[in-house]
Amino acid sequence: MPSSEAAAIAAELRIATGRLIRRVKDEDRIPLGQAAVLGALDRNGPMTTSDLAADQRVRPQSMARAVGLLLEQGLVTRRAHPTDGRKSLVELSDAGRTALEAERGRRAGWLAQAIAAELSDEERELLARSIVLLERLAAR
């Protein structure tokens, strides 16, 4: 059972990280679900629509719609699965990779500007050291 201090810190951290994530997402130009699909393809390489649905924890029908929209925009391509002729693989197109990199750049750029404008040298140092702690918590 966590201490009341740990519970209070957890509640404040959850609220603060939620606000920060929402603010960073305000910089998005690609809808969140589509950006998540592009990110998964960038991290994992080509995937079936079913694998993408499982990865993103959505229904296969929802993923099929998202992939369809990305295909229409030219952000992904589809090709035959090399070992199963009933399946196809979805992969990032060059345009998709460019759009994803631009999206990530906007997010990181806004956050870097906010850190530079709002935090003192000592606060930036503290934030940098805190990243290790956040990563440890995320990996648990």
CATH of the domain at 61: 1.10.10.10
Exposure b/e, 94-107, CB count within 10 A at least 16 = b: eebeebbeebeebb
Residue 60 pLDDT = 94
91, two tokens:
């992969």
Q: Please answer whether residues 106 and 29 qualify as being in contact, where contact means their C-beta atoms are separated by less than 8 angstroms.
A: yes
Residue 29 pLDDT = 85
Read off the amino acid at residue 94: D
Residue 21 pLDDT = 87
Domain span at residue 83? 4-139
Task: Count the domains in the chain.
Answer: 1
**How would you write the pLDDT of the chain (140 residues) with one tens digit per residue?**
788 999 999 999 999 999 998 888 888 788 888 999 999 999 999 999 999 999 999 999 999 999 999 999 999 999 999 998 899 999 999 999 999 999 999 888 999 999 999 999 999 999 999 999 999 999 98
Residue 69 pLDDT = 96
In three-state secondary structure terms, 30 is coil
